[in-house]
A = this chain, B = another copy of it.
């Protein structure tokens, strides 16, 4: 999945861990990720969590998508920081699942807490293909 994920690749994300039900993804913050207050735009904090969530909940042949998420922003970050998102599947019920993602900085301080809501589809996971982004 990550081989095809141009968004995550373009944002400089690195998949550190990819196990059933668990994923760790890191992303160094760049200048072009800062908002008007010189802190990381919420969309990029969300993005690294969302990628970790997608990996953690897609550990079978069936496509699982994000139905939604709740995120709490607890500390700011900026250029020079590296965010690490640790995603852990917490519970499932039928086709629905809950996946918690904790986002920390390079000092281990919690930047955000994300809780994703997954939904298993009837579709197969797409075949990996070379990314077109370089």
Query: A: which residues have CB within 8 A of B?
Result: 1-8, 10-11, 31-38, 40-44, 46-48, 50-51, 54, 63, 65-75, 90-93, 96, 98, 100, 102, 110, 113, 115, 117, 126, 128, 132-133
The answer to whether residues A32 and B7 also contact, given A73-B67, A96-B67 and a CB cut-off of 8 A, is yes
Which residue of B8, B31, B113, B132 contacts A132 across the interface (Cβ within 8 Å)?
B31
The answer to whether residues A34 and B46 also contact, given A73-B66, A113-B98, A117-B68 and a CB cut-off of 8 A, is no
Contacts A/B (CB < 8 Å), 15 sampled: A2-B36, A4-B36, A5-B41, A6-B33, A7-B33, A8-B35, A38-B126, A42-B54, A43-B43, A43-B48, A66-B73, A68-B70, A68-B73, A69-B70, A72-B96
Interface of A is mostly: mixed
Name the residue of chain B whose CB is nearest to the CB of A11. Answer: B43
B6 near A34 with CB under 8 A, answer: yes
